[in-house]
Chains A and B, each alone.
Chain A
Amino acid sequence: MARIAWGAYSGIIVLFMLTPLVLVVLFSFTDNALTNFPINAFSLHWYRILDANPEFWKAFENSLKVSLGVTLISTVIGTMAAMVLARWRERLANAALLALAAPVTLPALVIGIALLVFFNKVGVPLSLATVIAGHLVITQPFVILIVYARMVNFDYAAVDSARDLGASPWRAFWTVTFPIVSSTVIGAALIALAISLDDFIITFFTIGGGNTLPTFVWGKVRTYLDPSINAIGTILITLTVGSTAIALWISRYRG
């Protein structure tokens, strides 16, 4: 009985969470002028409209540049930091993690304003580079925390063995350490990608001119809301789900 109740409860929650996504995808493939039932006909109408809009393509390109840059930088630096921290004494490492994770506890609004003020004071012109720097503030802690959690339980005897069997430190890292933790690192990279891809607030304050997909959608909401944002939503969902699937495939155990 309790099991059925739990099952129903979980079902409702999943339904509640997935329904908006399903609706977004569904309506993106219609030619309805508003997001409402009944559906007239299925078509790629809104995708064609997006395709014809150079601003959309610019925003799409910017989103890719920013989120891939953020993912790459935060994964490389975060993984290196986590590996060093995991060798520290636990007390010290915890203090360092707390300090590094502090930005995550702040509202994005505060970070966005702080960054804007900072870039102004220092005289850095706003650009995609400042957006990437801004995103790193919030993605870096996640990568460090996730990889750190893996590295504290890491069996260093495997790496010692690799060294013992003739591998240089570099070789031992790439043939033993990295393959063992690669699924964790890729998972962390994906989280950084997802955070960066859908960040609006920090992007808004640090981009200066131009758009990423989230600020592009916001611009549309302010002027004229048409169902082409459903198409953008579907593209973002596809990017996220697709990158997750690719990452899972990459991180499969291999011989």
Chain B
Amino acid sequence: MTTVSGGGPGGATPLVRLRGLSKKFGDVAAVQPLDLDIFAGDFFALLGPSGCGKTTLLRMVGGFTPPSTGTVEIDGQDVTRLGPEQRPTNMVFQGYGLFPHMTVRQNIGYGLRIAKASDAEIAERVGAIMTLVRIGELAERRPDALSGGQAQRVALARALVMRPRVLLLDEPLAALDLKLRKQMQEELRRIHQSIGGTFVFVTHDQGEAMGLANRIAVMEAGACVQEGGPEEIYLRPKTRFVSSFIGEANMLAGERRGGTVTLRAGIAFTDAGPDGPVVLVVRPEAIRLDGGTAGLGTTGRLDDVVFLGPYVRYRVTLASGEEIAAHSADTGRRAGMAVGAAVQIGWEAADHRVVAGT
């Protein structure tokens, strides 16, 4: 997890301020009215499953899709009605959108040529940005002679050379294979740190969001369901959807009545909140199998033990039929655990979250 220095909800005025922004395509509400603040220096992730409206939201910020309602403010200026060429943003598109009839150098210099920069300035800035994203040797190639990773870098350079106040990236790493993706993640962080810009990116990969962003907005069906730092979102998910989407989570069904939650698994504890069905969310690494727990616990049957290198994964089936996954870094202990035997599981109340819903 990165802690990139920069804004944050506490301090200065936001660089990008979205208010009541929404988009309907016919009857489809692609983005429901939402408010969002993005601060200078942020590496901001819009995270959510495919089709939840991430691209639409990003395109509204970039000026490609006119919003149905709401406003987009950048740097204190209302840009809602401005076209993309009039906004201090630049975007890296999902398919990169490189110009096939131009060389890499011409692709990167395009924006500066439009802006009527001098030849000397174009040459200098294009050269510098190619060095920054490490594509100097590709300058005279055409896009169809580039690999996916190289095309990605060219698209990035072409946007960065414009020195945007906000760089928008739509699924920047989705088209790359796993190894390249990890490499480009490092690369993006290095670039973000070295130029100190503000990046907003869209991803459906929670690992990518956690690995790159200092702030994350989780989207579900066009709505922003939670927004905050990676740690906050991981440790204190507000809804069942967020907890299941970010990392792995155990979910235990139950009901709250008069401030007491009773789980189907037979555990009861006090927890203030409205009456109704609830789900208890607890991460696998918070579950202990040592019995002598001071927190909550129950017994179950150990069904599976898998050694995964840094940790061991246990699968336990409770009397309610619900399954619990537990991760333990103490890989030496698994020798003493017999599959099929009864085990005691437990966790500290501070490690779980109770969210409304079924």
Which of A's residues lie within 8 Å of B, judged by CB?
A: 155-168, 171, 175-176, 179-180, 253-255
Contacts and interface: CB of A to CB of B under 8 A. Distances in A.
Contacts of A175: 110
B84 A253 contact: no
B202 to A, nearest CB: 14
B147 to A, nearest CB: 18
B84 A157 contact: no
A165 B101 contact: no
A156 B95 CA distance: 9
A179 B101 contact: yes
Contact of B101 (A166, A168, A253): A253
Contacts of B103: 255
A159 B101 CA distance: 13
B96 interface: yes
A166 B95 contact: no
24 contacts: A155-B97, A156-B97, A157-B93, A157-B94, A157-B96, A158-B97, A160-B64, A160-B91, A160-B97, A161-B99, A162-B110, A163-B64, A163-B85, A164-B84, A165-B85, A165-B162, A166-B114, A166-B115, A166-B162, A167-B85, A167-B114, A171-B114, A255-B101, A255-B102
A163 B111 CA distance: 9
Contacts of B91: 160-161, 164
Interface residues of B, number: 28
B110 A163 contact: no
Contacts of B62: 164
B106 interface: yes
A167 B102 CA distance: 16
Contacts of A159: 97
Contacts of B90: 164-165
B111 A166 contact: yes
A180 B101 contact: yes
A160 B97 CA distance: 8
B159 interface: yes
Contacts of A254: 101
A146 B101 CA distance: 20
A179 B93 CA distance: 20
B54 to A, nearest CB: 16
Contacts of A155: 95, 97
A160 B84 contact: yes
A181 to B, nearest CB: 10
